Amino acid sequence: MSMRTVVIASRTGLHARPAALFVKAASEQGVPVRIRVGEGKAVPAASMLAVLSLGAGHGTEVTLEADGPGADDALDALAALLARDLDAEETSDA
């Protein structure tokens, strides 16, 4: 199993727009990805409800997990997304 640990950079954490962007990106990966906080239960990263249920705020360390061909690339892409402040990008887009 491939894993990546990353700290949530968005000011609002994995809520609202950052969560929606993450879930969309996760659902577009070629492999199922799971996300968890600490030693908690891993949930499907492509599920908005599951991701929101984690309560992952700004500065929270999360672990991404995936198996299969393309897992490393999928996790690299998703970890890079979470490491960006997606809230700041929204402000600069307006």
Quick one: pLDDT at residue 91? Answer: 54
Residue 94, in any domain of the structure: no
Quick one: pLDDT at residue 18? Answer: 95
DSSP labels, 24-37: HHHHTSSS-EEEEE
Quick one: pLDDT at residue 41? Answer: 96
Quick one: pLDDT at residue 94? Answer: 45
- Per-10-residue mean pLDDT of the chain, 94 residues long, equals 97 93 96 97 98 97 97 98 87 50
CATH for 59: 3.30.1340.10
Domain that holds residue 28: 2-86
Q: Which residues are annotated as catalytic?
A: 15
Q: Are strands 2-7 and 61-66 parallel, antiparallel or unpaired?
A: antiparallel
For 7, the enclosing helix (H) or strand (E) is strand 2-7
* CA–CA gap between residue 20 and residue 68 (Å, rounded): 24
Domain total in the chain: 1
Read off the pTM.
0.91
